[in-house]
Amino acid sequence: MRMRLSPWVVQFLLLSLIGGCVGRPFYPLPSKTLVDKNKQPMRPYNIAHRGSNGEIPEETAAAYKRAIEEGADFIETDILSSKDGHLVCFHDLILDLTTDIAAHKEFADRKRTYTFEYANVTVTGFFIVDFTLKELKSLRVKQRYGFRDQQYNGKYSIITFEEFISIALDAPRVVGIYPEIKDPIFINKHVKWGNTEKFEDKFLQTLQKYGYAGSYLSKKWMKQPVFIQCFAPTSLIYLSNMTNLPKILLIGDKSIPTQDTLQWYEEITSDSYLDFIKEYAVGIGPNKDTIVPVENNYLLTPTDLVARAHSHNLQVHPYTYRNENQFLHFNFHQDPYAEYEYWINEIRVDGLFTDFTGSLHNFQELSSHHKL
């Protein structure tokens, strides 16, 4: 795939060197005008953030299966690696918050301290890279938040990337996957696969093994949809030279730079940089509170980020939408449907990462009926 090399591309390539139809249809979706190759011709994507983790512990097989039952267009996951090089679905680098690691006395001596220079923080805990896959499989997952349903704690194990893919492929309809290359700088530093292989190589090899191929909205892509996401621009650029699968650059809080290039929010959301992102990605995934700032739990005036991204032919998939009052801004009067209405019809995003797949699906179904 040929790419027009801008000064941004040259910079990142140098950095990376040193460091038709299918049998299982989508849910029927009301059409939108197809503006260009990066804009989706359907209603905004329902992206099941770590599965239906508002109900079932995150990143487990049960959470993903529930999300599919509830109508997810994509199931989203975070990909990390075990000590012995197996790719697994888990969000945190440490196991402390969402597993029963503390109950496993046999692992008491595995606690480590690592420093993350880009964020200027030091973290102590049980790091996933210090455990083999067999050891990780002996743990059980629990809910991250104490105010969510605790009845499923201890029932489910950590799953591999391949097991996650199988859940999507075994669904009775087309279900896309939305895997994140999680903390690639840290993983590449602490996990070695031999030869010159990197975390990104193992990630892509797994997707290719299961038939994921094709550019956005191509026939191949529509059969097995996937978005590759990452907070590290160099990882996406590296992959763009090996695959035309669609990519989403995740954008974090304004207080933390990118982990690989140490760039700040203002730079990576500038018009010149959005134009560069378009060369290797089809969209961005910002924290929603950076699109519409918040003060004292009230929304302020929206920024123009969504409009500017659309003007550069980039989709916008913000994170994360949650039903609980702890997360809903006062403007929405404790009504998650009001939040969806605002973001879909006023801010006009192209996809939403949600912990509650069922509520977003129900809202979109009701909305589509009202438009008939």
**Residue 12's CATH number:** 3.20.20.190
309 is written with which tokens?
A: 């991204």
Question: Percent helix, strand and coil across the chain, each rounded to 5?
Answer: 35, 15, 50
Q: Looking at residues 239-257, what average pLDDT do you find?
A: 96
CA distances from 286 to 82, 105, 315 (A): 28, 39, 11
Specify if 102 maps to a domain: no
Query: From CA 223, how far away is CA 177, in angstroms rounded?
Result: 12
Closest CA to 298 of 266, 333, 322, 253: 333
Confidence check: pLDDT of 71 > 90:
yes
Render pLDDT for 4-60 as a digit per residue (tens, 0 to 9): 444 444 344 444 443 433 334 333 332 233 345 565 557 999 999 999 999 999 999
> For position 205, what pLDDT does the model report?
97
Render pLDDT for 168-196 as a digit per residue (tens, 0 to 9): 999 999 999 999 999 999 999 999 988 88
Q: Looking at residues 240-253, what average pLDDT do you find?
A: 97
Cα 241 to chain centroid, rounded: 21
Specify if 148 maps to a domain: no
**Residue scoring higher pLDDT (296 or 2):** 296
Specify if 122 maps to a domain: no
Query: From CA 317, how far away is CA 312, in angstroms rounded?
Result: 15
**Residue scoring higher pLDDT (11 or 356):** 356
Confidence check: pLDDT of 106 > 70:
yes
244 is written with which tokens?
A: 């035309």
> For position 276, what pLDDT does the model report?
98
Complete DSSP assignment for 22-82 = -SSPPPP-------STTS-SSSPEEEETTTTTTTS-TTSHHHHHHHHHTT-SEEEEEEEE-
Specify if 132 maps to a domain: no
Confidence check: pLDDT of 323 > 70:
yes
Provide the residue type at 318 as one letter: P
Specify if 114 maps to a domain: no
Domain extent for 344: 7-92+158-371
Number of domains the chain contains: 1
Query: From CA 309, how far away is CA 132, in angstroms rounded?
Result: 41
> For position 37, what pLDDT does the model report?
56
Greatest C-alpha distance within the chain: 61
Specify if 313 maps to a domain: yes
- Lowest pLDDT segment from 18-27, 49-58, 232-241, 268-277: 18-27
> For position 370, what pLDDT does the model report?
64
Specify if 135 maps to a domain: no
Q: Kindly report the average pLDDT of the chain as a whole number.
A: 91
24 Cβ contact partners less than 8 Å away, ≥ 6 residues apart = 171, 172, 173, 174
Query: From CA 25, how far away is CA 175, in angstroms rounded?
Result: 9
Pairing of strands 228-230, 87-89: unpaired
- Lowest pLDDT segment from 48-57, 192-201, 255-264: 192-201
Render pLDDT for 109-138 as a digit per residue (tens, 0 to 9): 999 999 998 989 999 999 999 999 999 999
> For position 196, what pLDDT does the model report?
82
Q: Looking at residues 301-327, what average pLDDT do you find?
A: 98
Specify if 78 maps to a domain: yes
Q: Looking at residues 151-168, what average pLDDT do you find?
A: 98
pLDDT band per the 50, 70, 90 thresholds, residue 277: very high
